[in-house]
Structures are given as C-alpha cells and as structure tokens.
C-alpha cells in the first residue's frame, strides 16, 4: 500500500513595518517593524521549523534574520518571494504613479506593468515556491518571509475571490 504524501506547512509572514515610499530604494524595518518581527519569532520558535526563506529585500531579510535566529536556522534568500513590484524613486516614477500602477495590476491580474510582474505572474512565482518547498521539505514547517502583495497574489492564484470571501 502506497503511503500518503505528508503535508508541508508553510508559514507565510509579511515583513515587519518599513518606511513606505522611502527615499532609499530598499528601506529596512522601523522600530515597530523590529518589534513585530520579534513577536512573530516568539510564535514560530514554538513550531518545528525546518527552514526559513526570505525575499531578498532588506525589510524581508531583517524580519527573516530575527525569526531564523529564534528558530535556530539561518535564512535563505529566494527571489520567488519578492514583491510584485518595488517602488524605486530613481526610476522616474512618482509614488502616486506607482500606486496607480499597483492598483491597475491588482484589478487586471494579467496586465504587465512597466516594472515588476503582473499579479498573475507573481502568483505563479509564489506557487512555484510552494511546490518546491513541499518537494524539499515534505511534512516540514517552512517559514517564508515575503510581502503583502505577493502573498495576496498567491492566495488569488490558489483560490477564487468567492472562496476567499467565504473564509471571513
């Protein structure tokens, strides 16, 4: 008799608070963001975590470092956990233009914005991370430090809007 595959638990964590639309293209955590990361780390330290992965942005890496230390691991950067798009003031786009682009990409999931991925593309990228994590860590608890938009894109890739609305 074949054994049933073991479920992998993936704890998706949005990075702690950072400065929104900072002058620096890759802002780190605020003091509140650090406290948020420590609170999350206390919860996850009680789980049987086998690996901690992170987006390669500074705010995600700082969050992951705090969590990984509490869980006895080192974080591993994985570009599949990146946000759909990053605001970069030196790219010639105002924060208002970026927000408008983000909102259009959210409403039209197939639309390819001038920077970053489509919402659908981000969801596919995140789903590839899920599949790889399950293949590598069957039955394990994995932490994935990512971004709010990317996590939302994954959920909208895996579930219909009606299914997500029913979860409330």
pLDDT tens per residue, range 124-146? 999 999 999 999 999 999 999 99
**How do beta strands 49-54 and 141-146 pair?**
parallel
In angstroms, the Cα distances linking 161 to 31, 37, 63, 117, 145 are: 35, 29, 29, 20, 24
Question: What is the architecture of the domain spanning 9-13+31-159?
Answer: 3-Layer(aba) Sandwich (3.40)
Compute the mean pLDDT over every residue in the chain, rounded to the nearest whole number.
92
Q: Give residue 115's pLDDT.
A: 86
Q: Is the pLDDT of residue 86 over 90?
A: no
CA distance 113 to 144: 25
Which residue from 13, 50, 79 is spatially nearest to 137, judged by alpha carbons?
50
* Cβ-contact 20, 96 below 8 angstroms: no
Q: Is the pLDDT of residue 156 over 70?
A: yes
pLDDT tens per residue, range 30-77? 999 999 999 999 999 999 999 999 999 999 999 999 999 999 999 999
CA distance 26 to 18: 9
């Amino acid at each position: 008799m074949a054994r049933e595959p073991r479920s992998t638990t993936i704890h998706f964590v949005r990075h702690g608070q950072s400065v929104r639309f900072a002058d620096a293209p890759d802002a780190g955590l605020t003091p509140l963001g650090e406290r948020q990361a420590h609170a999350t780390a206390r919860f996850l330290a009680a789980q049987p975590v086998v690996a901690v992965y992170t987006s390669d942005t500074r705010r995600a890496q700082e969050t992951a470092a705090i969590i990984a230390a509490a869980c006895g691991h080192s974080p591993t950067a994985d570009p599949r956990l990146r946000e759909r798009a990053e605001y970069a003031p030196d790219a010639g786009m105002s924060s208002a233009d970026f927000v408008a682009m983000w909102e259009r990409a959210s409403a039209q999931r197939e639309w390819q914005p001038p920077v970053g991925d489509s919402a659908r593309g981000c969801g596919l990228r995140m789903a590839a991370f899920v599949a790889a994590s399950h293949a590598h860590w069957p039955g394990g608890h994995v932490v994935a430090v990512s971004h709010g938009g990317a996590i939302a894109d994954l959920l909208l890739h895996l579930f219909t809007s009606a299914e997500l609305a029913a979860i409330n």
